[in-house]
Amino acid sequence: MVERAPFPARPDSVRPADLLGPYDGKVVDADSERPIAGALVAASWAFERGIGVIGPLAAEELVTQTGPDGRYSIPRLGRLPTGLSTRVRRFTVIIYRHGYVGWRSDRRFPGRQVRRDFSQQGNLVRLERWQAGYAHALHLLFLGGSARVREVAAWEAQQAGLDLEAESTERAGQAGGAVAGVLGGGVGGVGMSGRLPVALLDITPLLTDDEIRGVTGYVGTFDDGKLADLPTTEFYDSRHFKAKDRPENYDVGLRVWRLGPAAAEVQYQKLQRDLPRSSSTDEIGDASFRARAGQIEGLVFLVRERGVVVSLTCGTNQCTDPAQVLTIGKLVESRLSDLAAPSVPTPTPLSDPLDETLPDRLKDAE
Amino acid sequence: MKTQQPRRGPRRGGGRGHVAAPARVVALGLLLALALDWRFESRAQAYDPATTHAGLTQQAAAASLLHQVLALRLGRPLGLFEPVSLHAERLTPSERRLLLARLGALDPAGGYRPGDDGVAPALAFVVAGSVIAKMPPESVQHLFFDPSTGSGLKDSAGADGFFHSLRLIADAGGSVRQLATGTGFALEGEPSLKWLDSSDNDLGLPVFHQQLERALSHPDPAERSSALARALLALGGVLTVLEDAGNPAQVRNDFRGSYLQGRTGSPFDRWSRFERGVADFYGMGGIPAPREIVRRPTLRAFFTDPDGQGLADRTQRRFFSDGTVPADGIIDTETTGADVVREARQSLTYGLPIFSHLDLRESGVRRYVTVVEGKEPPRKILAYERVPGRIRFFLDGRVYADSARVLLPEIAGYAAGLIDHLLRGEVKLAREGDSVRATLVDPVGSIRGGTLRLLSEDASGRRSEIAAFPADRGAPESVSVVVPAGSRRIAAVLRGWDAAGPVVAGGELVLPPPPRR
């Protein structure tokens, strides 16, 4: 049996889709309408069985990517499980691209409203850019997906953990402690919205042009900005001291993650694992290592008490002596206390899906 | 004026005998079962595991203290998002057979199916456990609990159970022997509270406690990770049992009325409009968060308690299920509303919910019995309609919608509270010079039984016991032991009993690395 699809065959049609497929569509940037290439597209079919009471039987997944024109294509499902009560119950598409809000064919983020603009063919997906106030915890809970989706969204896990830590701390405070409230009365105000009122991390006070010049003896000037690889969030910020009219090996980069003690430990280990030619030096902070890529020297250190990881990179024409990198690092370390205190998210109730119109299937059933 | 009880189709009541199933009648019975399928009409009421249970469990876990417990007490810094590995090669053959096939069948879109390498976030294992607790779907037979009698499903009146078993054999290949010996699903089962403790339940409480202890104490890190995954799966399984206590049919011993009345054409295509409506409308992602986290003194009290505030108590007395609505009444020109109400109330299998007024003035107009609870908007609990010669009671989509709106956040609140309850025990560890001090924290009093064990973890991740304190006469409140050289982490665990029942108290402490050169 194949269930009736809850979405149309085409955007301009009311004819129900064929759950088995095929499916196709195009992924674009919601602001610029430009195609997004390389977005992960994870499609899955869920099969169920049972008489009266029904439960999962099997699933089929197909993962692909959008092409240079932003298009994706998912072939018709060929294999079906057998069984007298077996049915094709659901089809779901999840689309993910770093820097954007994840897209699901059934729900929207952050409000979790039912999505009504998905179609089997000619589907147009407008990916919205990630906004600093969104909560990664809610985003990952919303996103779902298989191991492939989790893999590309893994970078959000640390910040998601922090979202929940702040939420739990808030609630534990209300309940009188993590376990003391267990036998107490009910505690209200649980759940979070997708967007949290947060202050972005700002590492501007940690290092200046003059301080770099004072250490390295460089006489040129810098164009100050941010490194482009990750957006600034409440947990992360960067500075790019770009040497004017000079190649990259004169530049200085500074990245700071303020994650809390546990997650900072994880981030530090991840960097140590991922950065090229890393070797432990333990010369600064509670732990540190050096790394090197071409003409860029890197120093990464962890300050456990503050839950901070600092990554400092310096071109070898700017920092001609490795000791200069350490000196700049110690300057940064001495200023960490100048960072503004982290904001504590305030939990707000999730929207009630019943605010939406009741589905006919539920409302009109007898 | 008199109301009479008209003859009805299959309803509750009547004989409850279990039909014997001699194998020689099976073939004939199968044909009969299919031929007699006209007996069943479309109605059922249960929560869909892949969406409704998954969403309830996810909301409960996110609202509970599980994240904090994982991050701060169990050394998993990312808490609910911490990757946990279920190492298939470390499972017993029986565990592999029971678990892996079910996990592999889960819908990847839900985000709770482990990867092929057995890795998934901690939260995914909890949610997966709540889904596979109903795989195969017939396992719902052990998820009924009638708080007024303490019994489980026992709704095999007449030949219904027998015919249902036959259909299942035709569908899923259950064995004739199962049918003959009564081990197949014939509309009877264990009470869900008993199922929680059953050794046949691979997602029950004993597994949860055993695996949680193992996740802290096993020497091998891969074994500990697998044990944590198993404990989280079992936690999800336990939550599903509680969540079903928020399903009216399952606390009103109503299988036939709610599950076996479905028919959409094929005799094997039976599904519930309520279940489907809730699943399609809320999905997994639309399940509401708990309005409050419910605190109860014992696990049993989350289900039922003399104060009437167990979830099963509250659900049973506030909601009708399809098979436990009042019997239709025959009416004539002298029948008054009060007569109908009295007869309807007398026909109820369960005394509650009650109602005192019906509007019988117009024929052919659908009306509702509504209730108001606190500051909530009025809630429809029962539909009725006067038709020629009688009055008909039933549940419809508006009743289902109101029921779901009230029940789902309440269920999630009970489930969140149960998570916190099950994780109530803690061993706080603090460094004191060259020693570490372990202090037991349990909000319901001292823990007895078992042994408080302290373990040291070396740089390779292996743990070995460094101290043990028997707790037969009560665990020591606080102990101190010297930390062995080279220790990277200290863990402590005690599996015993407190005033609320079995408990595992645990904790971990990360030690700073050796001093720098």
Residue A230 has pLDDT above 50, yes or no: yes
Higher pLDDT, B39 or B51: B51
Query: What's the CA dihedral at B11, B145, B191, B234 to 10 degrees?
Result: 130
The pLDDT of residue B40 is: 27
Q: State residue B16's pLDDT score.
A: 30
Of B108, B291, B397, the CB nearest to A42: B108
**Residue of chain A whose Cα is closest to the Cα of B135:** A55
Nearest-by-Cβ selection for B49 from A49, A55, A146: A55
Residues A125 and A137 in one domain: no
Which tokens go with B428?
């706080």
Taking residues B223-237, what's their average pLDDT?
97
Contacts of B459 in chain A (CB under 8 A): none
Q: In this predicted structure, which of A341-345, B271-275, B310-314, B330-334 has the lowest mean pLDDT? A: A341-345
Domain count, chain A: 3
Given an 8 Å threshold on Cβ–Cβ distance, is B105 in contact with A56? yes
Asked if the structure places residue A352 within a domain, the reply is no
Counting residues of chain A whose pLDDT is more than 90, the rounded percentage is 54
pLDDT for B9 beyond 50: no
Place of tokens 């059922």: B44
Predicted local distance difference test score (pLDDT) of residue A132: 82
**Within a domain: A220:** yes
Tell me: pLDDT of B438 over 80: yes
Rg (chain A; Cα; Å) = 25
H/E stretch holding B392: strand B390-394
Encoded tokens for A46: 């869920």
The closest CB to that of B262, out of A6, A52, A55, belongs to: A52
Question: Is the pLDDT higher at B284 or at A350?
Answer: B284
Average pLDDT over residues B37-61: 71
Whole-angstrom Cα distance, residue A127 to residue A31? 8
- Residues of chain B contacting A266 with CB distance shorter than 8 Å: 77-78
Task: Say if A199 falls within a structural domain.
Answer: no
Structure tokens at B421: 């309850």
Whole-prediction pTM: 0.76
Rounded CA separation A210/A219 (Å)? 10
Residues A226 and A168 in one domain: no
pLDDT at A154: 92
Give the confidence band of B96 by pLDDT, cuts at 50, 70, 90. Answer: confident
d(CA B206, CA B198) in angstroms, rounded, equals 8
For residue B34, count CB atoms less than 10 angstroms from its CB and return exposed for 0-12, middle for 13-18, buried for 19 or more: middle
- Please state, rounded to an integer, the average pLDDT across all residues of chain B: 84
- Residues with Cβ within 8 Å of residue A84, at least 6 apart in sequence: B170, B171, B266, B268
Q: Name the residue with tokens 């962890």.
A: A302
- The reported pLDDT for the residue numbered B228 is 97
Tell me if A168 and B140 make a contact (CB, 8 A cut-off): no
More confident position, B378 or B445:
B378
d(CA B295, CA B27): 52
Same-domain pairing of A58 and A172: no
Query: Any CB–CB contact under 8 A between A4 and chain B?
Result: no
Sequence-distant (≥ 6) Cβ neighbours of residue B295 within 8 angstroms: A181, A182, A183, A184, A185, A186, A187, B417, B420, B421
Give the chain B residue whose CA is nearest to the CA of A7.
Answer: B280
* Interchain pair B294, A190: CB under 8 A: no
Most confident of the ranges A231-235, B23-27, B424-428: B424-428
Q: Is A53 in contact with B259 (Cβ distance < 8 A)?
A: yes
Decide if B412 contacts B130 (C-beta within 8 A): no
Q: Distance, in angstroms, between A188 CA and closest chain B CA?
A: 4
Name the fold adopted by B426-510. Immunoglobulin-like (2.60.40)
Q: Which tokens is B270 given?
A: 């039976």
Q: Where are the alpha helices (DSSP H) in A200-343?
A: 209-216, 261-274, 322-335
- DSSP codes of every residue in A252-277: EEEEEEE--HHHHHHHHHHHHHHSTT
Q: What is the DSSP string of B212-273?
A: HHHHHH-SSHHHHHHHHHHHHHHHHHHHHHHHHTTSHHHHTT-SHHHHTT--SSSTT----H
Q: CB of A166 within 8 Å of any CB in chain B? A: no
Contacts of B31 (CB under 8 A, 6+ apart): none
Average pLDDT of the residues in B220-239: 97
Q: Identify the bridge partners of residue A291 per DSSP, sorted by sequence position.
A: A298
Looking at the predicted structure, is the pLDDT value of residue B260 above 80?
A: no
**C-alpha distances in Å from residue A348, one per residue of A356, B63, B128:** 19, 12, 27
Asked if A150's CB is within 8 angstroms of B115's CB, the reply is yes
Chain A residues closer than 8 Å to B426 by CB: 178-179
Show which of A165, A194, A223 is a domain's final residue: A194
Mean pLDDT within A52-71:
92
Residues of A (209-248) whose Cβ lies below 8 Å from B = none
User: Where residue A259 sits, what CATH number does that domain have?
Assistant: 3.40.1000
Is A191 in contact with B59 (CB distance < 8 Å)? yes
Per-window interface: A 82-141 vs B, CB < 8 A: 83-85, 87, 89-90, 92, 94, 104, 106-107, 112, 114, 137, 140-141
B286–A137 CB contact, under 8 Å: no
Determine the pLDDT at residue B381.
94
**Same-domain check for residues A233 and A289:** yes
> What's the confidence (pLDDT) of residue A270?
80
- Measured between CA atoms, the residue of chain B closest to residue A280 is B516
Pairing of strands A252-258, A308-315: antiparallel
Q: What is the pLDDT of residue B167?
A: 61
Of the pLDDT bands very low, low, confident and very high (cuts 50, 70, 90), residue A84 is: confident
CA distance B16 to B159: 10
pLDDT band (50, 70, 90) for residue B18? very low
In a domain, A365, yes or no: no
B113 chain-A contacts, CB cut-off 8 A: 59, 146-147
Angstroms from B346 CA to nearest CA on chain A: 24
Percent of chain B having pLDDT more than 90? 58
Considering Cα of A149, then A154, then A159, then A163, what sign does the dihedral take?
Answer: positive
CB contact under 8 A, B295 and A181: yes
Burial degree of B276 (CB within 10 A; 0-12, 13-18, 19+): buried
Q: Compare B114 and B433 and report the one with higher pLDDT.
A: B114
| Secondary structure class of B85 (helix, strand, coil) | strand
Among A130, A152, A185, residue at a domain's last position = A130
Contact B54, B239 (CB under 8 A): no
A362 in any annotated domain:
no
Is A182 touching B (CB cutoff 8 A)?
A: yes
Q: How confident is the model at residue A365 (pLDDT cuts 50, 70, 90)?
A: very low
Measured between CB atoms, which of A104, A157, A287 is closest to B78?
A157
Same domain, A313 and A265: yes
B271: confidence class by pLDDT, cuts 50, 70, 90: low
For the beta carbon of residue B493, count every other beta carbon within 10 angstroms: 24
Cα gap B70→A225, rounded to integer Å: 38
Q: Determine the average pLDDT of the residues in A72-79.
A: 93
Residues of B in contact with A142 (CB under 8 A): 285
A175: confidence class by pLDDT, cuts 50, 70, 90: very low
> Which range among A221-230, B192-201, B281-290, B497-506 shows the weakest confidence by mean pLDDT?
A221-230
Domain shared by A234 and A326, yes or no: yes
Length of chain B (residues): 517
Q: What is the pLDDT of residue B427?
A: 95
Answer yes or no: do A177 and A159 share one domain: yes
Same domain, A184 and A215: no
Strands, sheet with B379-387, edge to edge from the N-terminal-most edge strand: B329-330, B390-394, B379-387, B366-371
* Least Cα separation, residue B166 to chain A (angstroms): 11
- Test B512 with A160 for CB contact under 8 angstroms: no
Range A307-320 average pLDDT: 93
Give the mean model confidence (pLDDT) for residues B135-158. Answer: 85
Q: Is the pLDDT of residue B25 over 60?
A: no
What is the spatial distance between Cα A265 and Cα A304, in angstroms, rounded to a whole number? 7
Beta carbons of B108 and A59 less than 8 Å apart: yes
Contacts of B150 (CB under 8 A, 6+ apart): B191, B193, B304
CB contact under 8 A, B288 and A287: no
**Cβ-defined contact of A52 to B44 (cutoff 8 Å):** yes
Give phi and psi for B503, each to the nearest 5. -150, 145
Residue B75, CA distances (Å) to A266, A301, B80, B429, B489 in order: 11, 21, 12, 12, 9
From A233's Cα to the closest Cα of chain B, the distance in A is 18
pLDDT at A42 over 50: yes
b/e B156-176 (16+ beta carbons within 10 angstroms → b): bbebbbbbbbbbbbbbbebeb
pLDDT at residue B409 tops 60: yes
Answer whether B397 sits within 8 Å of A150, measured CB to CB: no
Between the alpha carbon of residue A230 and those of residues A30, A139, A227, the distances in Å are 19, 17, 7
**Which segment of A148-152, B107-111, B475-479 scores lowest on mean pLDDT?**
B475-479
* Between B323 and A85, the higher pLDDT residue: B323
In this structure, what CATH number is given to the domain that contains residue A122? Answer: 2.60.40.1120
Cβ contacts of B218 within 8 Å, gap of 6 or more: B224, B227, B463
Q: Which of A90, A174, A362 to probe the B interface (max B CBs under 10 A)? A: A362
Check whether B272 has a pLDDT greater than 80: no
Domain of A265, in residue numbers:
204-338
Strands annotated E in B282-378:
292-293, 329-330, 366-371
Residue B83 φ/ψ, nearest 5 degrees: -65, 130
CA–CA distance, B305 with A317 (Å, rounded to integer): 75
- Residues of B with Cβ-Cβ distance to A358 under 8 angstroms: 281, 397, 401
- Which amino acid type is present at position A257? W
CA distance A64 to chain B (A): 15
Provide the pLDDT for residue B156.
61
Residues A285 and A234 in one domain: yes
Q: Which residue is associated with the tokens 């809730």?
A: B278
Which of A107, A130, A153 represents a domain boundary (last residue)?
Answer: A130
Query: CB-hemisphere CA count at 13 Å for B36?
Result: 16
Check whether residue A155 and residue A140 sit in a common domain. yes
pLDDT of residue B336: 83
As a whole number, the mean pLDDT across chain A is 83
- Give B114's pLDDT tier (boundaries 50, 70, 90): very high
pLDDT of residue A81: 82
- Asked if residue B21 has pLDDT above 70, the reply is no
Q: Where are the extended beta strands (E) located within chain A?
A: 23-29, 40-49, 55-65, 71-74, 87-96, 103-104, 123-127, 187-188, 222-225, 236-243, 252-258, 279-280, 287-293, 296-303, 308-315
Residue A142's closest chain B neighbor by CA?
B285
**Reduced to 3 states, what is the DSSP secondary structure of residue B83?**
strand
What is the rounded CA–CA span in Å between residue B190 and residue B358? Answer: 38
User: Looking at A277-281, B258-262, B313-317, which range is the least confident one?
Assistant: B258-262
* More reliable by pLDDT, A61 or A178: A61
Q: Which of A6, A56, A185 sits opposite B106 (nearest CB)?
A: A56
Residue B186 exposed, middle or buried by CB count within 10 Å (0-12, 13-18, 19+): buried
Contact A275, A258 (CB under 8 A): no
The answer to whether residue A236 scores a pLDDT higher than 70 is: yes
What local confidence, expressed as pLDDT, does residue B316 receive?
96
- Give B403's DSSP letter: H
A39 occurs within a structural domain: yes
The three-state secondary structure class of B371 is: strand
Residue A137 shares a structural domain with residue A125: no
Enclosing H/E stretch for B453: strand B451-457
Domain definitions of chain B by residue range: 40-154+189-304+400-423, 426-510
> Which residue in A107, A147, A179 is closest to B426 by CB distance?
A179
Asked if B441's CB is within 8 angstroms of A179's CB, the reply is: yes
C-alpha–C-alpha distance, residues B81 and B440, integer Å: 27
- For testing contact with chain B, the best of A53, A150, A269 (most B CBs within 10 A): A53
- At residue B157, the pLDDT reads 58
The ipTM is 0.82
Over residues A107-163, the pLDDT tens digits come to 999 988 899 999 999 999 999 999 888 999 999 999 999 999 999 999 999 889 888
pLDDT of residue A173: 58
* pLDDT band of A327, cuts 50, 70, 90: very high
Q: Are residues A59 and A6 in the same domain?
A: yes
Interchain pair B273, A366: CB under 8 A: yes
CA distance A249 to chain B (A): 31
Find out whether B281 and A167 touch, Cβ atoms under 8 Å: no
Which among A49, A85, A161 has CB closest to B78? A161
